[in-house]
């Protein structure tokens, strides 16, 4: 038993390293693709697809400067915390027909908590840097985080509640369970409309979670010269770049798992390795489409909001849209 347990632990560690590496590489690639497509939509040439990789390697060899007024151990520890928390979520996400590495050891509620860690870490890092610009950015990040949590939780709770009514005997908040029981097949007409509202809610929450335009008020280069990250450089800034790329993959994957978990291999009656390969490729295509719609298109089409506009948008119309989705799914169940 001890030998089997040890082998299982070693296997999970190796699997975690592989998943983290692939997640970072895919995240940086999609980040480059995002910048390229945004440039094309704005009639610009844009950077090459490999630019995020070049930026990362360049930052890693640059001097890591710690401000004189900073708290060094917090200032240097926050980038590591941010990256680790983002990478940890990858271990709970199913990819195509591949189950999550830590299946059964956590659920979507844990993922919501893990999603708050990068934001909390950046807030702490901003305050610890001693910069007035970073302090303002940290305050904005706190306000924005408190604003988008309600619609995010509403979306997750709504899907979990519907699953609990249909399958009361299973863990309805397990991402693997949600991935295997798509919401669209569990609801009627009213519930279908409610699920659309929930999807739109998550689509608007995603750029806020990622601090992308129009919700990039914590950084706001033209106002705060970089805000939270204004004092970061070198290795620390490189780690933040990796965390941002990884979190982009995480949020897009969460949208896919909650609303588009379908695989393509059953259409071709495939099994085994070919099915896994085709489903994984299909997952990457869905990942690209979700990132393009929820991140690239929105940040090109919409100008930056002010912090009061961000707070109002999440607390009032977006939260109401999420609650309306929940109500419609509830009515669909009882009628």
Sequential pLDDT tens for the chain (335 residues)? 444 477 777 877 888 888 889 999 999 999 999 989 989 888 888 888 899 999 999 999 988 888 888 888 888 888 998 999 999 999 988 888 888 887 777 778 888 888 888 888 888 888 888 788 888 888 888 888 888 889 999 999 899 888 888 887 788 788 888 888 888 888 889 989 999 999 999 999 998 888 887 888 877 766 666 667 888 888 888 998 899 899 999 999 999 999 998 888 888 887 888 888 899 999 999 999 999 998 898 888 888 888 888 889 899 999 999 999 999 998 887 87
Closest CA to 160 of 314, 331, 329: 329
Contact 249, 19 (CB under 8 A): no
**The pLDDT value given to residue 222:** 65
Scanning the structure block, which residue is given the tokens 């919700």?
215
Q: What is the pTM of this model?
A: 0.89
**The pLDDT value given to residue 3:** 45
Closest CA to 12 of 74, 85, 105: 105
**The pLDDT value given to residue 266:** 85
Quote the CA–CA distance of 94 and 270 in Å, as a whole number.
Answer: 19
**Contact residues for 324 (Cβ-Cβ < 8 A; gap 6+):** 194, 197
**225: helix, strand or coil:** coil
């Amino acid at each position: 038993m001890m030998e089997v347990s040890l082998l299982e632990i070693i296997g999970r560690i190796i699997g975690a390293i592989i998943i983290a590496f692939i997640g970072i590489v895919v995240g940086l690639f999609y980040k480059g693709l995002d910048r390229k497509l945004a440039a094309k939509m704005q009639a610009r040439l844009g950077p090459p697809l490999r630019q995020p990789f070049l930026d990362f390697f360049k930052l890693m060899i640059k001097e890591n400067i710690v401000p004189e007024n900073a708290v060094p151990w917090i200032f240097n520890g926050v980038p590591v915390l941010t990256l680790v928390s983002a990478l940890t979520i990858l271990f709970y996400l199913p990819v195509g027909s591949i189950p999550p590495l830590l299946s059964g050891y956590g659920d979507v509620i844990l993922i919501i908590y893990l999603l708050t860690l990068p934001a909390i870490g950046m807030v702490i890092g901003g305050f610890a840097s001693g910069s007035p610009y970073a302090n303002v950015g940290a305050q904005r990040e706190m306000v924005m985080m408190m604003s988008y949590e309600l619609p995010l939780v509403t979306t997750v709770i709504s899907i979990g509640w519907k699953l609990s009514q249909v399958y009361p005997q299973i863990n309805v908040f397990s991402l693997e369970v949600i991935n295997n029981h798509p919401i669209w097949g569990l609801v009627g007409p009213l519930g279908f409309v409610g699920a659309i509202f929930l999807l739109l809610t998550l689509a608007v929450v995603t750029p806020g979670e990622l601090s992308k335009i129009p919700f990039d008020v914590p950084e706001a280069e033209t106002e705060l010269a970089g805000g939270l990250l204004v004092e970061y450089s070198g290795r620390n800034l490189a780690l933040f770049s990796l965390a941002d790329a990884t979190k982009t993959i995480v949020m897009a994957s969460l949208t896919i798992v909650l609303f588009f978990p379908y695989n393509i291999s059953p259409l071709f009656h495939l099994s085994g390795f070919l099915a896994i390969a085709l489903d994984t490729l299909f997952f990457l295509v869905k990942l690209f489409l979700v990132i393009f719609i929820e991140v690239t298109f929105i940040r090109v089409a919409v100008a930056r909001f002010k912090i009061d506009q961000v707070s109002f948008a999440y607390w009032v119309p977006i939260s109401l849209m999420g609650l309306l989705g929940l109500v419609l799914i509830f009515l669909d169940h009882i009628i």
